[in-house]
């Protein structure tokens, strides 16, 4: 094992041995190298005459660049073309944390890490798996999930996924199934891994305040019983909450720092929150209980995480990070966010209004939704994939089929005035398939 990794491990072990135990073998071996990068950083500070350490080309004291490239960029070359640190731009990390704390008041006063910048949440999930997921670990998820979890956790990292029904028959979060699945998996395991994705993709559901509090109690009870619990919160659609009942905070803020056997990991991003999907800027933040000076242990985790970034993509794009930082610091930022939120909320409310029409009652059931980009229908009479293809080929309408009965509708990309027609077309597509089936049987 590299001596730097060993030193980081000792720091984490001394601060909380159960957190060290939760690291994967790869996580224990990860470190941030002190080679070229650290020498370049030292030279940047002290090499006042010539700095011949940087792995970029410079000209007249700035990064060398093509005018045809810079004609598309308003930022200076040193804010857009040069490498960013593997940790991410320090000012961006601090600013994102400040915004995160304001949006999650339950985290105020808790010791958490400084966010590490990733290439959005997909990369953040992969880095998290590198750090914490061992082959054959079990990850507990609901039965309504984003399909990329399977690729990241099972195909690329060899974990197993155990699922529970997301909803009760009455339509709320299925707390009893969640608890039963956790306890069943905990019987034969020292470490339990839970992934919480709210607002949920694909259903657009966020738990109520009471449901969220009970989720935390279940996790805490498991930890108090002697189990190590790794809780990953995928907060990709954070902030898009459309009713008064859903919790307005990330469950990370409730879980961080409540027990020494719980490691809460928050994955969030500017991607959906700030409507910058292609800029690919995400963050990983840790929250647990460390004895002594928690900053030292978090610093060790940050270095390991940055090592994972360094060893995969080297760093997230400087240009993207500079744009996000500038936007966060803009005096118009909150006003702009509120304007876009109102558009999204109005679309969600229009969907809810349209779906109260009784004519749809024998065609589908509506899964609960109160947030995010999506909602789902459970079809009663036709196959979801057959309907998807029929809508696409006959009406030029695209939806996502999920299994045999469910379709996902992204109201995020449908203008409010077009929502009634969209669902009428889906309804008409169902009727078409029903008639075709009757004709084939006769």
- Convert the pLDDT of each residue in 195-228 to its tens digit: 999 999 999 999 999 999 999 999 999 999 999 9
- What value does the CA radius of gyration of the chain take, rounded to a whole number of Å? 24
Domains and their CATH numbers in the chain:
3-32+86-328 (3.40.640.10), 334-441 (3.90.1150.10)
Strands 228-234 and 262-269, by their bridges, are parallel
Rounded to whole angstroms, the Cα distance separating 73 from 136 reads 46
Residue 287's beta-bridge partner residues?
112, 264
The confidence score (pLDDT) of residue 48 equals 74
What is the distance between the alpha carbons of residues 109 and 230, in angstroms, rounded to a whole number? Answer: 21
Instruction: Compute the distance between CA of residue 82 and CA of residue 271 in angstroms, rounded to an integer.
Output: 22
d(CA 177, CA 191): 19
- pLDDT value at position 399? 98
Q: For residues 64 and 52, give the distance between their C-alpha atoms in angstroms, rounded to a whole number.
A: 15
CA atoms within 13 A on the CB side of 305: 29
CA-nearest of 175, 166, 225 to 402 is 166
Among 30, 122, 24, 37, smallest CA distance to 307 is for 30
**Pair of tokens at residue 155:** 């195909």
What is the average pLDDT value for the chain, to the nearest integer? 95
If you average pLDDT over residues 245-250, what whole number do you get?
Answer: 96
Task: Examine the pLDDT at 40 and tell me if it is beyond 80.
Answer: no
Q: Is it the case that residue 38 has pLDDT exceeding 70?
A: no
CB-based contact 158:193 (threshold 8 Å): no
Structure tokens given for 300: 């060790």
Reading the block at residue 81, the tokens are 């073309």
Asked, as a colleague might, if the bond just before 286 is cis with ω within 30 of 0, I would say: no
**CA separation, residue 409 to residues 178, 373, 414 (Å):** 26, 9, 9
Predicted confidence (pLDDT) per residue in 415-431, tens digit:
999 999 999 999 999 99
CB 112 within 8 A of CB 255: no
């Amino acid at each position: 094992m590299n001596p730097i990794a060993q030193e980081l491990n000792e720091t984490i072990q001394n601060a909380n041995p159960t957190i060290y135990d939760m690291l994967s073998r790869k996580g224990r071996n990860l470190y941030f190298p002190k080679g070229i990068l650290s020498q370049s950083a030292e030279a940047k500070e002290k090499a006042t005459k010539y700095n011949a350490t940087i792995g970029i080309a410079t000209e007249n004291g700035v990064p060398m660049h093509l005018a045809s490239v810079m004609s598309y960029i308003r930022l200076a070359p040193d804010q857009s073309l040069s490498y960013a640190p593997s940790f991410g731009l320090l000012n961006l990390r601090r600013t994102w944390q400040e915004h995160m704390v304001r949006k999650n008041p339950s985290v105020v006063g808790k010791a958490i890490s400084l966010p590490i910048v990733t290439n959005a949440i997909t990369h953040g999930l992969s880095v998290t798996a590198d750090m914490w997921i061992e082959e054959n670990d079990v990850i507990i998820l609901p039965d309504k999930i984003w399909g990329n979890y399977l690729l990241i956790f099972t195909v690329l990292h060899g974990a197993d996924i155990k699922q529970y029904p997301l909803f009760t028959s009455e339509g709320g979060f299925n707390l009893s199934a969640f608890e039963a699945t956790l306890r069943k998996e905990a019987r034969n395991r020292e470490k339990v891994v839970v992934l919480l994705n709210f607002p949920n993709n694909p259903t657009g559901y966020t738990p109520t305040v009471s449901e969220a509090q009970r989720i935390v109690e279940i996790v805490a009870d498991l930890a108090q019983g002697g189990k190590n619990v790794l809780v990953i919160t995928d907060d990709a659609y954070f902030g898009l909450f459309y009713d008064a009942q859903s919790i307005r905070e990330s469950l990370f803020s409730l879980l961080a720092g409540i027990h020494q056997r719980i490691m809460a990991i928050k994955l969030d991003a500017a991607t959906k929150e700030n409507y910058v999907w292609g800029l690919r800027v995400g963050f990983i933040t840790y929250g647990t209980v460390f004895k002594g000076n928690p900053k030292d242990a978090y610093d060790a985790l940050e270095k390991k995480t940055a090592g994972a970034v360094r060893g995969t993509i080297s760093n997230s794009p400087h240009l993207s990070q500079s744009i996000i930082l500038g936007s966060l610091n803009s005096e118009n930022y909150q006003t702009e966010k509120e304007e876009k939120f109102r558009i999204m909320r109005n679309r969600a409310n229009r969907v809810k209004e349209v779906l109260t029409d009784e004519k749809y009652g024998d065609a589908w059931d509506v899964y609960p939704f109160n947030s995010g980009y999506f909602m789902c229908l459970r079809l009663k009479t036709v196959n979801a994939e057959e309907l998807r293809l029929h809508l696409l080929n006959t009406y030029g309408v695209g939806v996502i089929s999920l299994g045999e009965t469910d379709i996902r509708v992204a109201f995020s990309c449908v203008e409010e005035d077009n929502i009634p027609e969209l669902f009428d077309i889906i309804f008409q597509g169902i009727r078409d398939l029903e008639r075709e089936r009757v004709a084939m049987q006769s």
